[in-house]
Chains A and B, each alone.
Chain A
Amino acid sequence: MSLTELIDESAVIVCSGSGGVGKTTIAAVIAIEAAKRGRRSVVVTIDPARRLADALGLDNLTNEPQVVAIPGSPASFSALMLDTAATFDELVHRYSVDSTQAEKILANRFYRNVTGALSGTQEYMAAEKLFALHHDERFDLVVVDTPPTRNALDFLDAPGRLTRFLDHRIYRALTTPTRLGLKIANVAAQTVLKTIGRIVGGDVIADVIAFFQAFEGMEGGFKQRATEVIELLHSDTTHFVLVASPRSDTITEACFFADRLNEQGLRVSGVVVNRLYPLFAETSGAAETPDTSDSPTTTSSDAATSARGAPKRTTDASEQALRDNLTELRGVAAEERAVLAPLLAVAPIAALAEIPLLDHDIHDLEGLGIIGGHLLVDVTRV
Chain B
Amino acid sequence: MNPLQFFAASRLVVVAGKGGVGKTTVTAVMARAAAECGLRVLVVEVEGKPDLAGLLGDADFTESTKAGYQAQRLVSDLGPDSNGSIELCHLTSERALIEYLDQHGFRRVSKRLASSGILNVVSTAAPGIGDLLILGKVKQIERAGTYDLLLLDGPAAGHAISFLQSASGLLDAAKVGPIQAQAKDVVEMLADPARCQVVLVTLAEATPVNELVETAFALEDRVGVALGPVVVDAVDGGCELDEAIAATMGVATLAAAEFRNRRRVVQQAQIARLAVELPLPSLQLPLLLTASVTPADIVRLAEKFIVSINEMVG
Contacts and interface: CB of A to CB of B under 8 A. Distances in A.
Interface of A: 18-21, 48-51, 110, 113-114, 116-119, 148-151, 165, 168, 170, 191-192, 195-196, 198-201, 204-205, 207-208, 245-250, 252-253, 277-278, 280-286, 288-289, 292, 295-296, 298, 300-301, 303-304, 307-308, 310, 312-313, 315, 318-319, 321-323, 325-326, 328-332, 335-336, 338-339, 357, 359-361, 363
B125 A204 contact: yes
A322 B173 contact: no
B75 interface: no
The 4 tightest CB contacts between A and B, nearest first, are: A20-B20, A19-B19, A285-B251, A117-B127
A280 B292 contact: no
A192 B241 CA distance: 71
B122 interface: yes
Contact of A329 (B104, B269, B289): B289
A300 B258 contact: yes
A338 B46 CA distance: 30
B252 A118 contact: no
B306 to A, nearest CB: 21
B313 interface: no
Contacts of A357: 263
B177 interface: yes
B241 A322 contact: yes
A286 B289 contact: no
Contacts of A280: 252, 255-256, 259
Given A118-B124, A247-B292, A322-B253, 18 more contacts: A119-B123, A148-B156, A170-B116, A170-B121, A192-B112, A198-B177, A204-B174, A285-B252, A296-B266, A300-B258, A303-B265, A307-B261, A319-B249, A322-B246, A325-B253, A326-B256, A332-B290, A359-B259
A23 to B, nearest CB: 10
A117 B124 contact: yes
Given A114-B124, A296-B269, A307-B261, A21 B20 contact: yes
Contact of A196 (B122, B211, B260, B266): B122
Given A51-B206, A110-B124, A304 B255 contact: no
Given A199-B179, A204-B125, A204-B126, A119 B262 contact: no
Contacts of B123: 117, 119
Contacts of A318: 240, 242, 245
A245 B158 CA distance: 21
B80 interface: no
A363 B19 contact: no
A170 B118 CA distance: 9
B243 interface: yes
B68 interface: no
Interface string B223-244: 0000000000000011111110
B127 A200 contact: no
**SS of B interface (majority):** helix
B243 A49 contact: no
A48 B215 CA distance: 13
Given A303-B238, A313-B240, A318-B245, A19 B257 contact: no
Contacts of A195: 106, 109, 113
Given A49-B207, A248-B292, A303-B265, A200 B256 contact: no
Q: Which of B118, B206, B259, B260 neighbours the largest number of chain A CB atoms within 10 Å of its CB? A: B259
Contacts of A201: 126, 173-177, 179-180
A272 to B, nearest CB: 15
A245 B19 CA distance: 12
Nearest to A151: B48
A104 B242 CA distance: 73
Contacts of B211: 49
B210 A292 contact: no
7 contacts: A51-B210, A196-B113, A201-B173, A201-B179, A204-B125, A280-B252, A301-B242
A285 B252 CA distance: 5
Interface string B151-184: 0000011100000000000000111111110000
